[in-house]
């Protein structure tokens, strides 16, 4: 049995819903007592049941940031006395001050439990020596260490930025599993090859990727699996709710929801904001409501993560829905009215391996989400691969056929595009003309 908490994870969906009803009622009642932010926001609303939840307003990251600025240090949405806070993380905002995320002891225990379910699904198992590349720095990903400890895995925390130490953990300690971003896995494979170390010889059997889309894309996954001879599964969370919330089981067909009893997930149509039922093949944005959270509970928090749902029963025994992340609304470009997720472009390009290396960068003509000109797509060739006149045209036509978007594909030599030890920046606006979006 590869489940961390079988009672919860195999629970019947109807029974789970009854528990969620009760938990939501008590959470909302206590929020009105504890959180000035939600006392104002939910004034007049009377959510008696889960089916009333869509009538409540969303919470956005910008609102939480404004709440923090209005009442330093932690904001009007802090729902516990400051003395009860045990850690303050920050989320990696692109502009302005960081948004702080405060947690109590109970919140940390909750994160560890959800993370243990997620990563157990991903193959981090009791007794299995596992290397963790998330730094114990300001970001919540560092708290994944608690989850792996809870699983009972001998954890080797190496952080990022020291690839030599990471490689030694496999060579000297016989580690078999690793948690990292997809970008870092690809970087590690290149790093090894450049030093005549065979990535296949490291003995990595299991890789749990998280932190950015890519681990769920078939081509990117194949690239990582082939490089290391390892099984790759994906986990996903969000800083403001929980570092891990989803984990992919041995079926490798999407990530199960692992936050039962702590978080209630909804799916919405990001354009019209209407609820989308959890049906097989449904697509939408994830929205989260805390059911058990002390310091900073959220109600209907907009994740900006776009997913596709798998609602079929799963052979692993978990009864929760599965999702595959197709991109973040933050990365989205709208090219002449059509949505373009940069990770989807990378997926199309990867089908041209082994002629291409897998790295891409999109350079839009001007700043902003909406683009009226075809963006440039820089595609890195594989090491030593010749360009050939036909290749850029073939990739351009494939992007057009699959994503219904016109681009201008340019091939660049291997090693030209920036490598990342954490997350890849698939869109580069640094040379784009300035225009308000
Ligand atoms: Zn499963």
Tell me, in angstroms, the distance from the centre of ligand 1 to residue 312's CA.
10
Q: State yes or no: pLDDT of 422 exceeds 70.
A: no
Beta pairing partners, 10: none
Query: Quick check: helix, strand or coil at residue 331?
Result: helix
Tell me, in angstroms, the distance from the centre of ligand 1 to residue 170's CA.
28
Tell me, in angstroms, the distance from the centre of ligand 1 to residue 334's CA.
34
Q: State yes or no: pLDDT of 17 exceeds 50.
A: yes
- CA 376 to CA 417: how far, in whole Å? 14
Beta pairing partners, 196: none
Q: What is the mean pLDDT of residues 358-365?
A: 90
Tell me, in angstroms, the distance from the centre of ligand 1 to residue 2's CA.
10
Tell me, in angstroms, the distance from the centre of ligand 1 to residue 251's CA.
6
> 95: pLDDT confidence band, cut at 50, 70 and 90?
low
Q: Quick one: pLDDT at residue 259? A: 98
Higher per-residue confidence, 356 vs 214: 356
User: DSSP assignment, residue 335?
Assistant: E
Residue ranges of E strands in 163-300: 177-180, 206-209, 231-238, 242-248, 255-257, 263-268, 283-290
Q: State yes or no: pLDDT of 92 exceeds 70.
A: no
Q: What is the mean pLDDT of residues 359-374?
A: 88
Residue 242 sits at φ, ψ, to 5 deg, of -170, 140
Residue 184: which of 424, 428, 436 has the closest Cα?
Answer: 424
Q: Quick one: pLDDT at residue 91? A: 83
Tell me, in angstroms, the distance from the centre of ligand 1 to residue 106's CA.
28
Tell me, in angstroms, the distance from the centre of ligand 1 to residue 311's CA.
11
């Amino acid at each position: 049995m590869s489940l961390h908490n079988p009672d919860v994870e195999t629970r019947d969906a109807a029974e789970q819903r009854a528990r969620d009803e009760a938990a939501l009622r008590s959470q909302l009642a206590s929020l009105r007592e504890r959180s000035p932010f939600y006392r104002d926001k939910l004034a007049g609303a009377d959510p008696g049941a889960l089916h009333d939840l869509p009538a409540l307003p969303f919470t956005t990251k910008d609102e939480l940031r404004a709440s923090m600025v209005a009442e330093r240090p932690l904001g009007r949405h802090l729902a516990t006395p400051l003395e009860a806070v045990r850690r303050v993380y920050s989320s990696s905002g692109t502009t302005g001050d960081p948004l702080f995320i405060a947690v109590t002891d109970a919140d940390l225990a909750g994160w560890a439990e959800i993370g243990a379910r997620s990563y157990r699904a991903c193959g981090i198992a009791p007794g299995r020596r596992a290397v963790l590349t998330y730094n114990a720095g300001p970001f919540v990903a560092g708290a994944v260490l608690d989850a792996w400890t809870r699983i009972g895995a001998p954890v080797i925390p190496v952080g990022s930025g020291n690839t030599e130490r990471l490689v030694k953990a496999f060579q000297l300690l016989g580690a078999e599993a690793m948690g990292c971003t997809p970008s870092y896995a690809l970087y590690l494979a290149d790093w090894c090859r450049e030093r005549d170390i065979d990535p296949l010889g490291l003995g990595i059997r299991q890789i749990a990727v998280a932190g950015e889309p890519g681990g769920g894309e078939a081509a990117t996954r194949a690239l990582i699996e082939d490089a290391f001879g390892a099984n790759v599964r994906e986990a996903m969370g969000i800083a403001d709710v929980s570092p891990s919330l989803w984990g992919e089981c041995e079926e490798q067909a999407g990530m199960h929801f692992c936050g039962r009893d702590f978080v209630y997930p909804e799916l919405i149509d990001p354009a019209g904001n209407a609820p989308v039922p959890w049906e097989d093949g449904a697509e939408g944005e994830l929205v989260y409501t805390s059911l058990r959270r002390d310091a900073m509970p959220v109600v209907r928090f907009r994740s900006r993560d776009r997913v596709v749902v798998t609602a079929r029963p799963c052979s692993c025994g978990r009864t929760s829905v599965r999702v595959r992340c197709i991109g973040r609304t933050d990365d989205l470009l709208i090219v002449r009215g059509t949505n373009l997720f940069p990770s989807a472009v990378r997926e199309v390009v990867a089908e041209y391996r082994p002629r291409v290396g897998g790295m891409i960068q999109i350079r839009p003509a001007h700043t902003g989400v909406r683009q009226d000109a075809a963006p440039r797509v820089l595609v890195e060739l594989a090491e030593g691969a010749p360009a050939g006149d036909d290749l850029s045209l073939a990739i351009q036509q494939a992007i057009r056929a699959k994503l219904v978007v016109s681009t201008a594909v340019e091939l660049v030599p291997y090693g030209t595009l920036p490598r990342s030890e954490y997350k890849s920046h698939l869109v580069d606006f640094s040379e784009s003309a300035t225009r308000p979006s």
